[in-house]
Amino acid sequence: MLIFGWGYKTIKKYGIIGKSKCNICKLVTNWQLVKVTTWFTLFFIPIIPVSVKRMIICTNCNGGHIVDKQTFDKLFNIIKSNKGNINLQEMQYYNKTETQKNYLKEMEEFRRSKDNKDKQNVDTKLTEKDIIDGTSTPNTRNSLRKQLEEMGLKKGMTVIIHSSMSNIGWISGGSVAVVQALMDVITDEGTIIMPAHTTDYSDPADWENPPVPKDWVSIIKENMPAFDKNITPTNKMGRIAETFRTYPGVLRSDHPHVSFTAWGKNAEDITKNHSLDYSLGCESPLKKIYDLDGMVLLLGVGYENNTSFHLAEYLISKKKEENMGAPILLEGKRKWVEYKDIELDVDDFDKIGSEYEEIKEVIKHKIGQAESRLFSQRQAVDFAKGWMEKNR
């Protein structure tokens, strides 16, 4: 029986120290002073601090910098005296040793796993002024098209796109300009695919972020409108995906929970016959993209948004099944149907993506202000399958 150990961490927040542009999320945001302590534990009780890391963290993306004790004390005294904001650009940060680099990587994974759900709807949290402040020059349909081509997207390509419009920066024409730029590059000789998920079309008894009162569950379940692929809006997919859904010529698969939209040469084949059971598995649009050797474009989002990694979860031996439910239209009438699926987990997607980049080609490029990635979906799924078999 293990009675002692270390690795237990506590995070203490000391307050906002100022506003500055973050080099990770590219937005002008507030920065918070924090202290992260790793403890030696006895009978799982923290006894002695093993290490103390002093950091400042971006309140938008949780990217951080380690600061030395002298700098930390200076910042703490400014907060304590209420003397206002500091010019963060003048601060001297350090992150030179391998220990510090590994620690920052560990903390990044911890923060991302904790905040992933909150970040899914980031497009609606930023004001237009926030976006303008974080944009160096206006983005346009033509400027985005040029950057997409520079990245490696081209006519005839099959590509599934996950996106955050706010991370691109201010765009003349908004989400319409982004969709048009993508279509300009890929053309109808290729195929563009986007997620059109409706995560709210599920059993309300299973809702967690946030949950609903128990006495609401039966009311919601009995009155939730049937999923209709022609009118049901996407949920937490962002403005680009929702605009794409409504665009002329875009087709949609008919899964009530995790549908996909597609435009172009293979749109009909990709969206038809989307299996109700095992919704992101071998009878899903994801597998059809895999068979077409398509690409993935992460447009201003991280690997936690890479839905294709879920396909790998269906291919590994260790998985747990669960029952799902949603209202659909059957012969013109609403009916609540149950279907089989597996428990999905995105908590290690960032780690999988980070390790994938070390051995496979991932093209990194800025689209507007957004750090973006382009890579082979098939290679990424194959890598994720092997990784999950070993590490889950």
Mean pLDDT, rounded, of the chain? 85
Q: Which residues have C-beta within 8 Å of that of residue 183, sequence separation ≥ 6?
A: 192, 263
Give the per-residue pLDDT at 105. 54
Q: How buried is residue 352: exposed, middle or buried, by Cβ count under 10 Å (0-12/13-18/19+)?
A: buried
Instruction: Give the CA radius of gyration of the chain.
Output: 23
Task: Give CA separation, 281 vs 176, 243, 295, 297, in Å.
Answer: 31, 26, 17, 20
DSSP conformation letters of 292-352: TT-EEEEES--GGG-THHHHHHHHSS---EEEEEEEEEETTEEEEEEEEEE----TTHHHH
Give the per-residue pLDDT at 369. 93
Question: How far is the C-alpha of 343 from the C-alpha of 313, rounded, in Å?
Answer: 9
Q: Residue 183's closest CA among 174, 192, 175?
A: 192
Give the per-residue pLDDT at 298. 98
Give the per-residue pLDDT at 122. 45
Question: How far is the C-alpha of 314 from the C-alpha of 188, rounded, in Å?
Answer: 31
Q: Which long-range contacts (C-beta less than 8 Å, at least 24 apart) are formed by 81-87?
A: 85/17, 85/18, 85/19, 86/17, 86/18, 87/18, 87/20
Confidence of residue 377 (pLDDT cuts 50, 70, 90): very high
φ and ψ at residue 153, rounded to 5 degrees: -70, 145
- Model confidence at 118: pLDDT above 50: no
Give the per-residue pLDDT at 10. 75
Which pLDDT tens digit goes with each residue over 92-111?
333 434 554 455 555 555 55
More confident residue, 263 or 137: 263
Question: How far is the C-alpha of 161 from the C-alpha of 370, rounded, in Å?
Answer: 14
Confidence of residue 87 (pLDDT cuts 50, 70, 90): very low
Backbone dihedral region of 280: left (phi > 0), alpha (psi from -120 to 50 degrees) or beta?
alpha
- Model confidence at 46: pLDDT above 70: no
Q: How buried is residue 294: exposed, middle or buried, by Cβ count under 10 Å (0-12/13-18/19+)?
A: buried
Give the per-residue pLDDT at 300. 96
Question: Quick one: tokens of 114?
Answer: 């904790």
Rounded percentage of the chain residues whose pLDDT exceeds 90? 61
More confident residue, 369 or 125: 369
Question: How far is the C-alpha of 125 from the C-alpha of 122, rounded, in Å?
Answer: 5
Whether the Cβ atoms of residue 166 and residue 135 lie closer than 8 Å to each other: no
Give the per-residue pLDDT at 26. 56
Q: Residue 360's closest CA among 263, 311, 273, 295?
A: 295
Confidence of residue 35 (pLDDT cuts 50, 70, 90): confident
Question: Quick one: tokens of 141?
Answer: 């349909």
Question: How far is the C-alpha of 120 from the C-alpha of 228, rounded, in Å?
Answer: 23
Give the per-residue pLDDT at 79. 77
Question: Quick one: tokens of 372?
Answer: 């973006």
Least confident of 17-26, 321-330, 336-345: 17-26
DSSP conformation letters of 46-87: EEEEEEEEEEEEETTT--EEE--HHHHHHHHHHHHHT-----
Give the per-residue pLDDT at 5. 54
Q: pTM here?
A: 0.70
Give the per-residue pLDDT at 131. 85
CA dihedral 117, 361, 363, 389 (to 10 degrees): -10
Q: Which residues have C-beta within 8 Å of that of residue 22, sequence separation ≥ 6?
A: 28, 29, 31, 58, 60, 61, 63
- Model confidence at 56: pLDDT above 80: yes
Which pLDDT tens digit goes with each residue over 160-189?
999 999 999 999 999 999 999 999 999 999
Least confident of 23-37, 97-111, 232-246, 280-294: 97-111
Give the per-residue pLDDT at 27. 65
- Model confidence at 117: pLDDT above 50: no
Rounded percentage of the chain residues whose pLDDT exceeds 70? 81
Give the per-residue pLDDT at 42. 64
